[in-house]
């Protein structure tokens, strides 16, 4: 489960925009967006790499804080017009995942056994709020690709249609 989250962090949660095409405004935006992506990737590295491992509420809260920080950094960017919708969706997804991690941190504080904590991580993996947030993140990636932004893991030749 957490390998999926780390992979999602590398390929969906901003990852890195690679090689841009277009004007200097677009290239500057892609560079700035990649910096925000590194904040996300760095925070997700705190997640355990094994389904049997867990982390404590402090680490989970730290991840949530970093994801919120990344969303806040996006507020400081002035996206090109063709990227504004994707950026808003990306922010919504990051904040949604951060909120879900906040809930998980609180639940972990209240859990009294290791098995109860492990079960919370399993529940987190199937949580509807998490799914909704990841849908926003995937939708943002698709919206960037639809506008010709080259996002890691996306074939812009296929140009998927942006969702909602």
Q: What is the pLDDT of residues 88-127, one digit of tens each?
A: 999 999 999 999 999 999 999 999 998 999 899 889 988 9
Q: How confident is the model at residue 136 (pLDDT cuts 50, 70, 90)?
A: very high
**CA separation for the pair 100, 123 (Å, rounded):** 11
Range 10-20 average pLDDT: 45
pLDDT in tens, 59-71: 999 999 999 999 9
**Do the Cβ atoms of 58 and 45 come closer than 8 Å?**
no
């Amino acid at each position: 489960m957490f390998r999926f989250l780390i992979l999602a962090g590398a390929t969906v949660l901003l990852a890195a925009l690679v090689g841009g095409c277009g004007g200097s405004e677009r290239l500057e935006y892609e560079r700035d967006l990649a910096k925000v992506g590194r904040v996300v990737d760095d925070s997700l590295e705190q997640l355990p790499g094994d389904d049997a491992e867990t982390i404590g509420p402090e680490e989970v809260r730290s991840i949530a804080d970093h994801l919120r920080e990344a969303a806040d950094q996006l507020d400081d960017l002035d996206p090109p017009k063709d990227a504004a919708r994707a950026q808003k969706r990306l922010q919504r997804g990051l904040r949604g995942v951060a909120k879900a991690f906040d809930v998980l941190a609180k639940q972990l504080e209240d859990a009294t056994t290791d098995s109860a904590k492990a079960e919370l991580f399993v529940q987190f993996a199937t949580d509807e709020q998490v799914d909704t947030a990841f849908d926003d993140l995937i939708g943002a990636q698709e919206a960037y690709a639809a506008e010709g932004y080259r996002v890691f893991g996306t074939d812009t030749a296929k140009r998927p249609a942006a969702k909602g």
